[in-house]
Amino acid sequence: MRGLITCLKSGDYMVLDLGTKKTMLAKASGLFRHHGEKPKVGDYVEYQLMNDTTAYITKLEKRHNDLVRPAICNIDQAFVVFSVKEPDFNTNLLDRFLTILNFNNIEAILIFTKWDLLKEDEVEEVAKYQEYYQKIGYRVLTVSKNDKFDDFKKQVISLLENKITVITGQSGVGKSTILNLLDENLNLDVNEISYALGRGKHTTRHVELYPLYDGMLADTPGFGIMDFSGMEAIDIAQSFKEFFELSDTCKYKGCLHINEPACAVKHALDNDEIIKSRYDNYLLFIEENKKQRKW
């Protein structure tokens, strides 16, 4: 029988049967330890029933991505929530999220919040970023307290079906508001659930998937995998969507778009086809990656 691991807590697994949609307690076969494997939340598995309420996980299916922090795999998409004000719009942090998500084969859907806090002269500037990220292939949703939340909710719900989704972003950008908007009956204490970046206080100690609108939403103890561990410089270059598309026309294969001649990315930058903040952030990430690799 085939199932999905939805929770791991104190060594016990919860498995959702993909046919009956029933959830049961499960134990992992000792063979996984022998082979250096460990089932985790998000794993599609084969299992056998031990009795009516307990299962025995016997096999893991191949993962299409596998994160360390949070300990979850097979994520289909991430709602990347960023405010345009309070805190100010942070392109460096946003591009960091997008690079790492793209490298891990996780579709990023951008949600920009708090548009109502922008002054008139700020709206046009932030709108340029929104238009740019849409142009390079990202879906961008916007929301503020002046909007009709029903319309926004319908857009988000339409994206959840048959997907495993995580929600992430900066602290204080409205993630808990979005969660409550999706389903006020989730019974998630937003004061105890942190989707914040970095080393903030994370009181949720386990990863869990909740069924929501014919999909699964991940409650995690912080989306902390925000460095470039496991990535080479070329991986970073290829994880910038527009850079990857242009790289076929660079003169040199494996071009890193820094000092190489006849570089299509630098040509596009010079012609204002690539927004400067993206390229500047790219250079910072490459330099950070070099320093990481020394250690």
| pLDDT tens per residue, range 158-188 | 999 999 999 887 777 777 788 878 876 655 5
Q: Domain end: 197, 219, 241, which one?
A: 219
Pair (180, 272) in one structural domain: no
Q: Which one is predicted more confidently, 30 or 255?
A: 255
Highest mean pLDDT among 126-130, 207-211, 288-292: 126-130
Domain that holds residue 194: 72-219
**225 is a domain residue:** no
The CATH number assigned to the domain holding 57 equals 2.40.50.140
- Over residues 12-18, mean pLDDT: 94
Whether residue 167 contacts residue 217, with contact meaning beta carbons closer than 8 Å, is answered with yes
Residues 182, 88, single domain; the answer is yes
| One domain for residues 92 and 181 | yes
The CATH number of the domain holding residue 274 is 1.10.40.50
Assigned domain for 28 exists: yes
Query: In terms of domains, do 112 and 180 share one?
Result: yes
Q: Are residues 202 and 99 in the same domain?
A: yes
Residues 89 and 38 in one domain: no
Over residues 88-110, the pLDDT tens digits come to: 899 999 999 999 999 999 999 99
Q: What is the pLDDT of residue 194?
A: 39
Q: Is residue 282 part of a domain?
A: yes
Is the pLDDT confidence value at 239 over 70? yes
What is the pLDDT of the chain when averaged over all its residues? 87
Band the pLDDT of 196: cuts 50, 70, 90: very low
pTM score: 0.86
- Let me know whether 213 and 237 are in one domain: no
Q: How far is CA 91 from the centre of its chain?
A: 16
The pLDDT of 244-255, averaged and rounded, is 96
What pLDDT is attached to residue 190?
A: 46
> Across-strand partners of 78?
108, 166
Is 33 contained in some domain? yes
| 30/170: higher pLDDT | 30
DSSP string covering 252-272? STT--SSS-SS-HHHHHHHTT
pLDDT of 294: 60
If asked whether residues 78 and 58 sit together in one domain, one would say no
Count up the domains in the chain and report the number: 3
Strands (E), 144-267: 164-169, 208-212, 215-219
